[in-house]
Amino acid sequence: MFLLENKIAVVTGGSSGIGLATAQRFVEEGAYVFIAGRRQAELDRAVAEIGKNVTGIKTDISQLDDLDRFYEAVAKKGKIDVIFAGAAFVEKQMTAMVTPEHFDKTFNANARGTYFTVQRALPYLNDGASIILVAAAGKNKGIPGRSTYSATKAAIRSFARTWTSELKERGIRTNVISPGAVETPMFDDQYPSEDGAAEARKQIIAMTPLARLAHPDEIACAALFLASDLSSYVAGIDLPVDGGLTAV
């Protein structure tokens, strides 16, 4: 028996990194997965890599019309059992250098986008569905250059608390995963050079008890737990998957 047999799942940010690994894991466990992403070429590659029981739909989660079109397409398949809201934008910027454009782009993609990803899905969710939000371990740390990004992830943690209360009559569970640093293209994209990314890896590894970055599939395994009935009595939590970074 597969953990997500005959389930319908939505994965935003599903064309690469953590989202792609999660979509793959969900399909392996019997789900039909709809992945949302902003770039068609990457979506096409992700669909080809997963190979079965998956549909990719070009979607910018900061645009409500895009979200509405996305869910209308999903609804043709059936009601949604799992949402993995993983789409995000990160751009390191010290507070003194933050522009309104940077601020708005970060909050629109992360806080606003995640919020409306869930809000727009509510009519399409099965009772008893699982909502999984992706925050970040760094929201609990004062990391220079992350003031806007970490604030959006703290907002996501707050959303989970409220939605756990608001959706309890429908038996819908909302939980958060807070990854530490993960070996994904997004990690390298934060730094202006390969040397900068290498130095950041070195510093993070030194701070992390497990002394390495995570693999995307390790985050996907945590998502599978929260998506499945294995976590049927788990609601409203913030699950760190960070190698011990924020625990010690």
Catalytic annotation, residues: 149
Largest CA distance in the chain: 54
Length of the chain: 248
> For residue 123, how far is the Cα from the chain centroid?
21
The Cα 85–Cα 118 span in angstroms is 8
Amino acid at 14: G
Question: Is 232 strand, coil or helix?
Answer: coil
Q: What is the DSSP string of 52-78?
A: SSEEEEE--TT-HHHHHHHHHHHHTT-
Q: Identify the H or E element spanning 33.
A: strand 32-37
Q: List C-alpha distances in Å: 139 to 57, 107, 198.
A: 30, 14, 22
Q: Using an 8 Å Cβ cutoff, are 25 and 50 in contact? A: no
Phi/psi of residue 85, nearest 5 degrees = -95, 90
Inter-residue long-range contacts of 73-79, CB under 8 Å, 24+ positions, other chains counted: 73/34, 74/8, 74/10, 74/34, 74/124, 75/124, 77/8, 77/32, 77/34, 78/8, 79/8, 79/124, 79/125, 79/126
